[in-house]
Structure formats: C-alpha cells, structure tokens
Structure 1
Amino acid sequence: MHAYMKQFNKTTVLEGVDAVLSAEMDAFIYDGTVLDYLTSQDEDCRLLTVGSWYAMTGYGLAFPRNSKYLKMFNKRLLDFRENGDLERLRRYWMTGVCKPGKQEHKSSDPLALEQFLSAFLLLMAGILLAALLLFLEHLYFKYVRKHLAKTDRGGCCALISLSMGKSLTFRGAVYEAQDILKNHRCRDPICDTHLWKVKRELDISQMRCKQLEKELEAHGIKPPPPCKR
C-alpha cells in the first residue's frame, strides 16, 4: 500500500489540493485541521473532508529551556480550553462560506471528567490501599500483638513493634512511661491517651511476668520476687 501511494506524493499541501481539484487524484490525506481550513476556504465548495479523525494530538509551541513565558502560555492555553474559547476560535476561523452552519466539536472541546479519569483512579487506588493498611494495623494491635508479647523474646517482632511506637517488652514499656511522665506532663487529652496506652503495655508485661514465674516453678526453680505494678 505504501509503495502504491508513494507515487502520488506531493511536495506541498497546496499541490495535493490542486491535484484533487484537477481530478489528478481522488483524495489527499493530510492533517485534519489543515484540510478543514482549506476546505472551508474553497470558493467553489468543491472540496469535502470525509471520515473521522484518528491519532488525534494537539499542537505544541516550542520555548527555550527555562523560558519565563512557558508557565504563562500553559496557564492561558488551559484557561482557553476549559472555558471553550479554543472551540469558538476554531469555529470562527475554520468555518468558511461552504459550511457556515457546521458546529461540530472536534479538536478543542472543553475539559471533561473523562480526561481526568486516570487521576481519579489513581487517587481511589491510594485511598483503598491506605484503608487496607489501616485495617491491617487495627487487626495487629487488637488480635496479633498480644500473642507476640507472650511468645517473642525481644527479637525482630519487638523491633518492629518499637518502630510502630509500641513496645513488646516490660523494660521498653517502663522506659516509655518514664519518658512520658518526665517530658509530657500536661492536662491535654493526648497525655491521657499516652498514659492509657502505657498502662496497657504494663498490664501485658505483668501477664508475661506471671507466665514466666509459673514456668520457673514448673521446672523447680524458685522465681524472683513477684513483679509489681
């Protein structure tokens, strides 16, 4: 197909249009915007654009690197497109005497929701991921963490728990309580929340101490003095 069409190539657009007008060629394929303009300016109305556009891309303006006019042009073009000025200009300049009533929207319709669909999908994916992580964190602190406090020996689980602001060990809970009482004395509800959190840590640590005492007694070893709150 390319080899067949190559013999009809023309150097300029006007040569291609003249070839169609003189019946040398049956059709001339070129940029749709240019052809629409030339068709609308044909005084005898012998030209006609047919078919639908494909591979639609916008025109661009080149600026030097770090040009001070780049942001101003981008903002102005976006404003023109959002309020439909580009479409009005197209209809004014591209609609000639041959098609004065043509009001088709082709290349510069105002921005629509479909053009931002990918951004909204990405936002929804982020929200769903955040909700999933929040749910997993809730499950960890409500169901999993108390079992880790009984089985972990200060290894990687304790390290992960510390990085999340929660200690699995008795010593870590005590240090955390001392830090809060020393540096965060206030009447703010946040302080009460921290104190409640540390008390819960201490309760879990006390349960661990009692469990260790029972294990020592089961092996015939006298446990040290009982843990006190």
Structure 2
Amino acid sequence: MSGLRNSSSEFFFFQLIVDGNFRSCDLRRLDKSDQKSAVIRRFNLFRKQLKVPQNTAEFKIVINDDTRNIDVALISNEKIKDVLWKDQSTLIILAFGFRTENFTYHLLHLPDDMGKEDLDGRLHNVVSLSIGSKCEGKVLQPGQETTTFLSEKEVASRLVFSIDDLKPLFFKKPTVFIELTEVITADLIYNMISPESTLVVRNEVEKKKLVKNLRCVHERQQKSS
C-alpha cells in the first residue's frame, strides 16, 4: 500500500505542476491504465506549454506601388533606386550588385549555405552592397555623414558586413520595399529582417513567390534545428 501511496503522491505532484489545480490532480480513483493515459496527456500538455515559440515565416507582406512610405529598401535595379530616392524624405537603400552616386560601397559576406558554387566548384558567398541614406530630405554624403547616420541605427559602418551586422536596421518594425532577385533571396530576407517588419512588393505574383519562398526557408530551418 505504501507503494501505491507514493505513486499517487507523484501523480498528485505532477498534476499540480501542470495546472496548479488541487482538485483535478488526484488520480488515485483511476485504474492503472487510465492513470498512465492521464499522465501521458498531462505531460504532453506540460511540454507544449513550456515550448518556446520559434520565429515564423509569417511576415506581413503587402502589395503597393506607392513608394512614399518606405523606411528601408532592398534593390538591385538603379531605376527603382531613382524612384525611391525621389519619393522619400527619409530612407535607407541597400543596393545589391551596383554602385551609384552618393552611396557608400561595401561587401556583404553571406553564410556558406547561402552562397553559390561556380562551374569550377568555387563558393561565391560575397556580394557587392552599396548603402545610400536620406534624412529629412537631405541626401547624406558618403563618409562621415553616412557613418554617423548608420551608427544612430546601431550599425557600425565597415567595408565587409555580415547579415547580423545589418539586422539593427530592422529592429523598429520598418516598412521594407523588396525587389526579389537572385541576390535578394528569401534566405537573405528571412535571416536579416525582423518578422515584425512590413514587406512591400509591387504585385500579386511577387507576393505569392515571396510567401512561398519564405515558408520553404522557414520549414528547412525548422528541420535542421
């Protein structure tokens, strides 16, 4: 009988941990089979409650041709840069793959799994990155003005950035214009931009593609974690 009492006490204590309910935690009236099933159910519930929520692929993605309310833009097309530059009074542009006037020039070092191999088997995981900034209608000049502006965003200006170095640009839930390209991929967006950000694309086709690709990245990372 002492063994039964000890077992019942363990059930009592376990249920107390799960929901703190003294009346529902006494399993002594159940037979052994029911006791086992009840404990398994409660344990699974307890484990689910303790699980820390993971980052998801559920960014807010909107379609909008109006570029006047953009905080940050990721682009690879200089014509798009010209439109954004004209429409915005305060803006940060991350331009991949080209240099342009009044932008600082950098390199972005990608993780190996985001790089691509050429025909000779060499891994290419460095891409060119130009950064341009406007603040209250003023185009900031490359050099100290841009460095100071970035530091106010908690980004230390450097020749070679990592993805993590640029993450502070997206801490304050910005609205981000996305031009999805071979360089500006769902992997890059998922790993660099906060999911609380709003992503802006130009049409339904781009939105569907981005949603699909972000979910694929999310599922792949969940499987590997």
Greater relative contact order structure (CA < 8 Å, 6+ sep): 2
Q: What's the TM-score, normalizing by structure 2? A: 0.25
Q: What's the TM-score, normalizing by structure 1? A: 0.25
Specify the structure having the higher radius of gyration (Cα): 1
- Higher strand content, 1 or 2: 2
- Higher helix content, 1 or 2: 1
